[in-house]
Amino acid sequence: MSDLCKFINGRCETCGYETDLPSLVRNCKPPRPISPKKILKQNPMPKSKIRLILPKIMLGDLVEKVLTFFGITKDRIYRLTRKECNCPARQQWLNEWWLNKTIRLEIWINSMLKR
């Protein structure tokens, strides 16, 4: 159940409903939040000269460091499976993949800032 409007000088302080009737009892309906698209249409962002540069983190190197911290090394994998783990190739692929995604995200963000 919703609360009742609290009128001060003919205007509800919560929902903004205005009335001339002094003894009006009304269920208060707080205003809906405005969508970001409507805000941008009403107040378009000025063209920015700011350029965002994201940090270039090598995901493969990060995964290797985390696994090594927890004791999962190439030697331990070899002792358990008796096979090469192909870690360097996987690490290189993760580094290249993540770098590509970061660059694409940086380009997209900067294009949005220019609008």
Residue 40 pLDDT? 63
- Distance of alpha carbon 40 from alpha carbon 73, whole angstroms: 50
Average pLDDT over residues 26-46: 66
Ordered DSSP codes for the chain: -PPBP-EETTEETTT--B-S-TT---B--PPPPPPHHHHHHHSPPPPP----------HHHHHHHHHHHTT--HHHHHHHHSS---HHHHHHHHHHHHHHHHHHHHHHHHHHHH-
Q: To the nearest 10°, report the CA torsion of 61, 64, 68, 69.
A: 60
- Closest by alpha carbon to 28, among 13, 40, 50? 13
Is this structure's pTM higher than 0.85?
no
Predicted confidence (pLDDT) per residue in 48-65, tens digit: 667 778 888 899 999 999
